[in-house]
Amino acid sequence: MIASPVALVTGAAHRLGARTASRLHERGWNVIIHYRARKAEAEALVASLNQCRPDSAMAIAAELDRDQDLGRLATDAVACWGRLDALVNNASVFYPNPTDEATAADWDRIMHTNLRAPFFLGQALLPALRASRGSIVNLIDIYSERPLPDHPLYCASKAGLAALTRSWARDLAPDIRVNGVSPGAILWPGGDAAINEQYQQSILAKTPLARTGNPDDIAAAITFLVCDAPFVTGQILAVDGGRSLNM
């Protein structure tokens, strides 16, 4: 019996990460659901996936801004099924921090989660990914190229991740493919990062398809790059309804 390929998706307890893990699972992959604090949601997702196909999903908690947790996450992920075929760096921190108000703590939180963690987690998983001739997909953002006002640290972190994606695509070839997906308006942010209705409408007015996307749009793009694009590397796919044409 051929063993199922295995994917680790960070920040996969909810939103885009959960849908991506589910989509890969639908394609026959075993999935590792990384989470930080959303234990109940992660365990519920794992239970649902395992009900569909036994022993096909597991959850691992880790703080991505802690080096020891990154190392443990990498080790535990490979130990789940003895292999790893894809890493999806989905976990991200997003909130406004105008330049005259941003703190060193803001810098550390955003840069560590959005850029440092993907690098060092990917580094720790290189042996497993090379052994499987696997792939990495990084979740970037259309704001990595045309910044969002009052979000300099977030935009810088995603621009760095875009550069890392292209650098890795060269450095890790031919054994590992590395690509990125840049979402546009998919799910409006909540909590402290929430944006008002007027600004939402201004975003949609600049989007040629005149609507938001949905998590399936991102999950499908990631799944394509992981499963169906063996000759694609170093590419960053904008899934934004055309908004990057009008930003």
Task: Specify the 3-state DSSP secondary structure of 78.
Answer: helix
Which has the closest alpha carbon to 26: 178, 182, 216?
216
Q: Which residues are catalytic?
A: 154
Can you read off the two tokens belonging to residue 170? 């060269």
- 8 A C-beta contact, residue 139 and residue 183: yes
Instruction: Quote the distance between the C-alpha of residue 166 and its chain's center.
Output: 16
Place of tokens 């042996």: 127
Report the 3 state secondary structure along 176-232.
CEEEEEEECCCCCCCHHHCCCHHHHHHHHHCCCCCCCCCHHHHHHHHHHHHHCCCCC
